């Protein structure tokens, strides 16, 4: 049961970023490996606002979402948009290089030392034989609310419909009068904000350092793939699956191999059921 709580905590951190990853994939048809980099940006942005600048955590989180939205928008405009016509493999290569650059810019600016948020120490909640740190509950709650909010946005609002339409068929959206560039920009900003949120949540539960990039990129991508690319709900479910898989691996093998779990899951899904749990068959480049 303790394991289940831990898995949920991991899932809560991964879910927003996984949803963001799948959003970018459906809108622009490439796997953006820089997801890890953006989450790291979020973590450090939140930390900068919280520790040296003394703002409360929620302000740090909001700031992180803003900074990440800007970072994703900037990288889309400067790096990815000019390469729109190229193959998925090229775009992935570029996104790997970008994540590498982002990680090292952070390392350059902040050093490699592990950092933590300036949070008041609170004791864990103890019930039913479980010890659950309050931070963990907070992380799970915030993530759940955010994921549901994004889901509602996509399902019930005009802009959410427009986003789904553009993701489905951009040329038809154009012909039907939808402002495609504006909708894409909106999608980019939502994705960026979600990366920022994941980054902030990581900082609450785990440590903040530049190596976060690698550690988080693969579980996030794995969650999105398991859930099915193109389905935000799937991404959220995928996050839970990955969380569970990691906990099980840590329990039955050694914790060192946790990092390999994401890859193994990705390989299995791509081989056995490429569309994941809820995914739609998408034409890829």
Which parts of this chain interact with another protein (CB under 8 A)? 30-31, 33, 79, 82-83, 86-94, 96-98, 100-101, 104-105, 107-108, 111-112, 158, 161-162, 164-165, 167-169, 171-180, 214, 218, 221, 230, 254, 256-257, 259-260, 262-264, 266-267, 270-271, 280, 284-285
Nearer to another protein, 51 or 92 (CB): 92
Least distance (Å) from another protein to the CB of residue 45? 18
Is the Cβ of residue 112 or residue 126 nearer to another protein in the bound state? 112
Name the residue nearer to another protein (CB basis): 2 or 104. Answer: 104
Q: Closest separation between CB of residue 207 and another protein, Å? A: 17
Task: For another protein, give the closer residue by CB, 199 or 230.
Answer: 230
The minimum distance between CB 92 and another protein, in angstroms, equals 4
CB of 87 to another protein, least distance (A): 6
Residue 34: CB minimum distance to another protein, A: 11
Nearer to another protein, 62 or 105 (CB): 105
| Minimum CB–partner distance for residue 257 and another protein (Å) | 6
Given a contact cutoff of 8 angstroms between Cβ atoms, the answer to whether 21 and 220 are in contact is yes
* CB nearer to another protein: pick between 42 and 160: 160
């Amino acid at each position: 049961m303790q394991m289940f709580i831990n898995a949920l905590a991991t899932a809560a951190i991964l879910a927003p970023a996984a949803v963001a990853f799948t959003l970018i994939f459906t809108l622009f048809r490439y796997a953006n490996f820089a997801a890890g980099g953006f989450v790291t940006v979020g973590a450090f942005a939140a930390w900068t606002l919280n520790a040296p600048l003394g703002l409360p955590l929620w302000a740090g989180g909001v700031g992180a979402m803003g900074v990440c939205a800007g970072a994703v928008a900037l990288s889309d405009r400067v790096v990815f948009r000019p390469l729109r016509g190229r193959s998925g493999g090229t775009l992935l290569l570029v996104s790997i290089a970008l994540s590498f650059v982002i990680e090292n810019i952070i390392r350059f600016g902040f050093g490699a030392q592990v950092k933590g948020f300036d949070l008041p120490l609170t004791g864990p909640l103890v019930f039913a034989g479980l010890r659950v740190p309050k931070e963990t509950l907070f992380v799970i709650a915030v993530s759940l609310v955010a994921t549901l909010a994004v889901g509602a946005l996509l399902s019930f609002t005009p802009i959410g419909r427009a986003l789904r339409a553009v993701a489905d068929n951009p040329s038809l959206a154009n012909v039907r009068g939808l402002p495609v560039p504006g909708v894409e920009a909106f999608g980019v900003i939502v994705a960026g904000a979600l990366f920022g949120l994941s980054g902030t949540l990581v900082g609450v539960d785990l440590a903040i350092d530049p190596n976060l990039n690698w550690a988080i990129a693969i579980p996030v991508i794995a969650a999105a793939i398991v859930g099915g690319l193109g389905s935000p709900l799937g991404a959220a479910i995928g996050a839970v699956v990955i969380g569970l898989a990691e906990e099980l691996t840590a329990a039955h093998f050694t914790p060192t191999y946790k990092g390999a779990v994401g890859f193994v899951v990705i390989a299995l899904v791509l081989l056995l059921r490429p569309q994941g749990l809820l995914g739609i068959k998408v034409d890829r480049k």
